Amino acid sequence: MSETPTWRTALSILSVIILGARLLFTCSDMNRSRSANPDPVMESFRESQQAMKENLRRQQEILRKASNNILYTNYEKLDSLSPVQKESFGLEKLDKDSLVYIALDTQIKIPKKFYLQNSHDDSLRLAFKSPDNMNVFIHDFESKDEIEPSFKTLKSTSNLQKFKVVNTIGTVKAVSYKITKDDKRYNGYALCFKSDGFLNFYEFESDKLSVDKLKGRAIEFFSQNMKEKK
């Protein structure tokens, strides 16, 4: 299936937002210059200006949601985006291995050539994509709920299926699952932690790799890339 709906639609929205912002800036200047002589025409103008602001807000919200899904775009298609487009999605292609803090005393190394995303929702601590199209998402948030219902809620908009707890060690659970994004199916393997009312999910997803291979990649990634600050 084509991946066009996610990134091309978002780019169109970005163009609308830029144009709308320019129009609002111009309108605001006009409004200030004429505010001394209010009349029905100007009142109508202000109402249309307010409607434009609301429409711009909605477009920005749509772009934010599209940005949350941009890593489900094929790696090669991300390469084809312009620098301005990548910046609008918070995307950076790393030219060297980079250490990123995920806790006060813990860093994670993101290998070079991975795409790192810095624009995302509040619960998403980190997101990155490998050259072979494996996505990694690190969510953390405060919750009174247990791991299973919280994870299902997190993936509720992604047609979560075949969710299964495959292993439990103390407060750590490993889960497997399937989701759908833009009509494409993804296998998922996640390590889930709960401590002091906080939940942490480390999710590894791919439309090519099996759950078993994702498990191997997750173990390998943790062993090679997690760094504790001493």
Asked if residue 9 is part of any domain, the answer here is no
Query: How far is 119 from 55, CA to CA, in rounded Å?
Result: 21
Q: Structural domain of residue 181, as residue ranges?
A: 61-228
Asked if residue 7 is part of any domain, the answer here is no
What does the longest C-alpha to C-alpha distance in the chain come to?
Answer: 72
Characterize 209-222 residue by residue with b for buried, 16 or more Cβ atoms within 10 angstroms of its Cβ, and e for exposed.
bebeebbebbeebe
37: enclosing H helix or E strand: none
Asked if residue 151 is part of any domain, the answer here is yes
User: What type of residue sits at position 181?
Assistant: K
Asked if residue 21 is part of any domain, the answer here is no
Q: Which contacts (CB < 8 Å, 24+ apart) does range 7-12 have?
A: 7/66, 7/70, 7/73, 7/77, 7/81, 9/66, 10/62, 10/63, 10/66, 10/67, 10/70, 10/89, 11/85, 11/88
Dihedral, CA of residue 153, residue 223, residue 103 and residue 212, to nearest 10: -10
Determine the pLDDT at residue 25. 56
Determine the pLDDT at residue 32. 54
Asked if residue 1 is part of any domain, the answer here is no
Asked if residue 35 is part of any domain, the answer here is no
Asked if residue 42 is part of any domain, the answer here is no
Strand ranges for 42-97 from DSSP E? 91-93
Please, what is the Cα angle at 55 between 155 and 74, to 5 degrees? 40
Asked if residue 10 is part of any domain, the answer here is no
| Cβ neighbours around 196 below 10 Å, total | 5
pTM score, two decimals? 0.75
122: domain CATH number?
3.40.1000
Q: Sign of dihedral through CA atoms 176, 177, 181, 183?
A: positive
* pLDDT values of the chain reduced to their tens digit, one per residue, 230 residues: 444 555 566 656 556 555 555 555 555 555 555 555 566 767 776 777 777 766 666 665 555 565 678 999 999 999 999 998 898 888 999 999 999 988 888 899 999 999 999 765 678 889 999 999 999 999 999 988 999 999 999 999 899 999 999 999 888 999 999 999 989 999 999 999 998 889 999 999 999 999 999 999 999 999 999 887 76
Q: How many domains does the chain have?
A: 1
